[in-house]
Structure 1
Amino acid sequence: MPKLELHLHLEGAAPPAFIRGLAQEKKIDISGIFDEAGNYRYKDFWDFLKVYEAATSVLTSPSDYARLTRAVLEESAASGVIYSECFLSPDFCGGRDLGAWREYLHAIREAADQAERQDGIILRGIITCIRHFGPEKARETAVCAAETAGDWIVGFGIAGDEKAGKPRDFLWSFDCAREAGLRLTAHAGEWGGPDSVRDALNDLRVERIGHGVRAIEDLVLVDELAERGTVLEVCPGSNIALGIYPTWRAHPIGQLYDRGVKVTVSTDDPPFFHTTMTREYDRLADAFDWDAGVFETLSRTALDAAFCDSKTKTTIAKKLEAAHA
């Protein structure tokens, strides 16, 4: 079944073997972030952020990011993903220097174009500021986003520690991105409760919410999301791996879907959470008895919510129609 993924962190999707190999090439010792089986090792969400940044520290050049992009898209295509939007951070790509960011972006785009030719997967970028890096650095990131907005960089968002500051602290950055024509999303309702979702909607005026699942704790908010047509980029395997919910059956995506909220499915940082898009679909089918019709609805929702242009959407729609004919 062809799949669309709207919530994928490029560095977070790096296969552990890829990062280990790159570290060995550069003689950088980051062995402490891996367990005995060679997987990423972390204790909780905040430790996960540290491990994520340690893994990212070996990615130091545009060519590294080109190799990373190919490795990630190869994994995604193997799970049937035909369209992906990934989060990119100039913080990690040239330290928010615009000239350096352009070089990194060029390398990533070249690798993405190669993957599209070879594997048929289409990639677009959403630039994210890192919440726990603070509002001032977010402004620099927003400028990088505004200066490279176009047919490939299609969105702007915010990721990182939801407990660091408030959404309104980043209002300037989101206004800057909006004025540049970028579409907006924000991580909320993962570690923050329902109020974090409300704040992202009201203060930043985003059209999509990354995660957003803790909205289920406030059914008035759930109904509001349904009425507004706000799309949630839900990552069930991530939420379960990090301990937000104990099991797949306990995950609220089923309730949200049943109450009319527009939900999509993504992997977030797949190797960290031992998941793939295929596994997400399989586990959701098992947990909620979802059939092919439900997953087709999810794909249509993702296509409608995608930040890419109409020409790209037409290409994706034809692939979906051919698969579901």
Structure 2
Amino acid sequence: MSVADLPKIELHLHHEGAAPPAFIRQLAHEKRIDLSGLFKPDGRYDFRDFAHFLSVYEAACEVLKSPEDFRRLTLAILEESAANGVVYSETFLSPDFCGGGDLQAWCDYLAAIQDAAVEAERKFDITLRGVITCVRHFGPEKAKASARCAAETAGDWITGFGMGGNESVGAQGDFKWAFDCAREAGLRLTTHAGEFGGPESVRDAIRDLGVERVGHGVRAIEDPDLIREIVDRDVTLEVCPGSNVVLGLYPEFAAHPIARLREAGVKVTVSTDDPPFFHTTMRREYEMLAQAFGWGAEDFAALNDTALNAAFCDEETRARVKTRLETP
């Protein structure tokens, strides 16, 4: 069995960002929505840089207007993930895109997403859990609404809270109220940092928001003191190498710091971020990492073990997923 065929855990996946381009185009066709300019001639999403990526992402979301749309989207995402060997996934869900932050609307969207997740687990043997995220460039007030939605629907399925969006807008500490609200509801915490923000953004995420995971976090490699703090605080990084390469943080997989982070004792996991945007899959991530660093089955088993321990799920689910990892 090749490393690409191994069963996998993915912890950093944006729900709308995982939408297959063909799915979005079909939905736009059904609704007679013009998405001109969003796709390349070969059908892939088209963007120039990170800021443009965000605008294309949000434009694509314009076709996702109902709980039924998200039910269909969830099935499409999970079928694709399962085809790439993913047995457990956590997806970032934003109430901003699911009812505009209104609690009742969010509950309707969530019910549809969960219904699809149950169907997908039966059909594709993949388990999904939800991490609600606020959107940084929408501001702290919008984040409060997302946190309230998270707190009201926290439980066995909505298990975490985090933040995505443009790291250049505001500071991590601006969102402290939202993260405190989610923490008090029993949700576990993550946030994006150390992608386009430098090492200091990772330090701020850990100290100001008290997160146990950091999305990306790779710029921490530039600060040895921060590396030691990450190790001491037992923080896990949700690393997305293919995304980082496509967006120009590193010129190629071989230049990516994931191996150096791991060698320094940092807990790292592997994910795709927004796979169709970044022309990747979990199979491809494994293949490229094996090629770049000579990693074999034992290395990827260790990465999955780290991911399983860092997953925001209950112990019964963790035990079930562990069994799937051990019986490919």
TM over 0.5: yes
- The match for 1:246 among 243, 251, 273 is 251
What is the CA distance between 1:320 and its match in structure 2? 1.6
**SS at 2:219 equivalent:** helix
2:14 corresponding residue in structure 1: 9
For this pair of structures, how many residues does the alignment match?
323
Whether 1:75 aligns to 2:83 is no
Please point out which of 50, 53, 69 is paired with 1:45: 50
Partner residue, 2:168: 163
Q: Counterparts of 1:3-152 in structure 2 under 5 Å?
A: 3-152=8-157
Q: Distance in 1 between matches of 2:209 and 2:227?
A: 18
Q: Which residue of 2 aligns with 1:172?
A: 177
Correspondence for 2:280: 275
Q: TM-score, normalised by structure 1?
A: 0.99
Partner of 1:217: 222
Distance in 2, matches of 1:248 and 1:321, equals 28
Residues 264-301 of structure 1 show CA distances to partners (whole Å, capped at 9, x for unaligned) of: 00000000000000000000000000011000000000
Counterparts of 1:222 and 1:105 in 2: how far apart (Å)?
A: 37
- Indicate the residue corresponding to 2:187 in structure 1: 182
Report the 3-state secondary structure (helix = DSSP H, G, I; strand = E; otherwise coil) of the residue aligned with 1:184.
Answer: strand
From 293, 316, 319, give the equivalent of 2:321.
Answer: 316
Please name the residue that 1:195 is paired with: 200
Deviation, 1:228, is 2.0
Mapped partners of 2:36, 2:270: distance in 1: 32
How many angstroms does 1:147 deviate by? Answer: 0.2
| Number of the residue aligned with 2:268 | 263
How far 1:222 moved relative to its partner?
1.2
Match of 1:294 among 293, 296, 299: 299
Q: Secondary structure at the match of 2:255?
A: coil
Can you list the C-alpha shifts for 1:139-180, whole angstroms capped at 9, x where unaligned? 011000000000000000000000100011100000000000
In 2, Cα distance between equivalents of 1:233 and 1:31: 33
Q: Which amino acid is 1:278 matched to?
A: R
Whole-angstrom CA distance in 2 between matches of 1:290 and 1:219: 24
1:34 to partner: Cα distance: 0.4
Residue in 1 that maps onto 2:3:
none
User: CA shift at 1:71, angstroms?
Assistant: 0.3
1:31 Cα offset (Å): 2.0
Q: In the alignment, which of 225, 231, 241 is matched to residue 226 of structure 1? A: 231
What letter corresponds to residue 311 of structure 2 in structure 1?
A
Per-residue CA distance 1:70-105 (angstroms, 9 max, x = gap): 000010000000000000000000000000000000
CA distance in structure 1 between the partners assigned to 2:327 and 2:78 by the alignment: 22
Instruction: Report the alpha carbon displacement of residue 318 of structure 1 after superposing the two structures with TM.
Output: 1.1
Q: Measure, in 2, the Cα distance between the counterparts of 1:293 and 1:229.
A: 22
Displacement of 1:322: 2.3
Q: What's the RMSD between the two structures over aligned residues?
A: 0.6
Q: Which runs of 5+ in 1 are unaligned?
A: none
- Provide the C-alpha distance between the structure 2 equivalents of 1:18 and 1:27, rounded to a whole number of angstroms: 14
Compute the TM-score of the two structures, normalised by the length of structure 2. Answer: 0.98
Q: Which amino acid aligns with 1:319?
A: R
Letter in 2 for 1:315: R
Higher relative contact order (CA 8 A, sep 6+): 2
Percent identity for Structure 1 against Structure 2: 66
Return the alpha-carbon distance in structure 2 between the equivalents of residues 108 and 310 of structure 1. Answer: 22
Runs of 4+ with deviation above 6 angstroms: none
Q: How far is 1:229 from its partner?
A: 1.6
Unaligned runs of 5+ in 2: 1-5
CA deviation string 1:181-216 (max 9, x = no partner): 000000000000000000000000000000000001
Describe the SS at the equivalent of 1:33. Answer: coil
